[in-house]
Chains A and B, each alone.
Chain A
Amino acid sequence: MEWEVFRQSKPGGDLSFCGNLYAPDRDMAVIYAKKLFARREITCKLWILPSEEVTKVSEDDVCFGGETNREYRLARGYKDISVDLADDVEVDLEEDTTIEVEGDS
Chain B
Amino acid sequence: MVDTDSRYSSPDELTKDECKTVESLLRRLADDELIAGEQCIEWAVVAPTIESDVSIASIAQDELGHARVWYTILEDFGYTENDLIYERDPNDFRHSTLVELPVDEGNWAETIVRMYFYDTAEQLRLESLAGSSYRPLGTRVQKILDEEDYHVEHAENWLERLAANDDGQTRLQNAVDRFFGPAQTLFAGPDDATEHGFRTESLSDLRSKWLDIVEPKLTSLELTVPADDMPEPIGRDGNHTEHWRPLFDEIIETYHDLDRSEPTKIMDESLPE
What residues make up the interface of A, taking CB atoms closer than 8 Å to B?
A: 21-24, 27-28, 31-32, 34-36, 39
B261 in contact (CB, < 8 A): no
A35 touches which one: B49, B54, B161 (CB < 8 A)? B54
A37 to B49, CA, bound (A): 16
Q: How far is the CB of B142 from chain A (nearest CB, A)?
A: 17
The residue in chain B whose Cβ has the minimal distance to the Cβ of A29 is B51
Prevailing SS type, chain B contact patch: helix
A21 to B58, CA, bound (A): 16
Chain B positions 137-172 with a Cβ under 8 Å from a chain A Cβ? 150, 153-154, 157, 161
B55 in contact (CB, < 8 A): yes
A28 to B54, CA, bound (A): 13
Knowing A27-B157, A39-B58, the reply to whether A32 touches B150 (Cβ < 8 A) is no
Q: Compute the total of residue contacts between A and B using a CB distance below 8 Å.
A: 27
Q: A34, B51: Cβ atoms under 8 Å?
A: no
User: How many residues of chain B get a CB closer than 8 Å to chain A's CBs?
Assistant: 12
B51 touches which one: A27, A36, A39 (CB < 8 A)? A36
Task: Please name 26 pairs of A and B residues whose Cβ atoms are closer than 8 Å in the assembled complex, sorted by A.
Answer: A21-B51, A22-B49, A22-B50, A22-B51, A23-B51, A24-B161, A28-B157, A28-B161, A31-B55, A31-B150, A31-B153, A31-B154, A31-B157, A32-B51, A32-B52, A32-B54, A32-B55, A34-B150, A35-B54, A35-B55, A35-B58, A35-B150, A36-B51, A36-B54, A36-B55, A39-B58
Q: How far is the CB of A32 from chain B (nearest CB, A)?
A: 4
A27 to B154, CA, bound (A): 10
B27-66 vs A: 1/0 string, CB under 8 Å?
0000000000000000000000111101100100000000
A84 to B49, CA, bound (A): 62
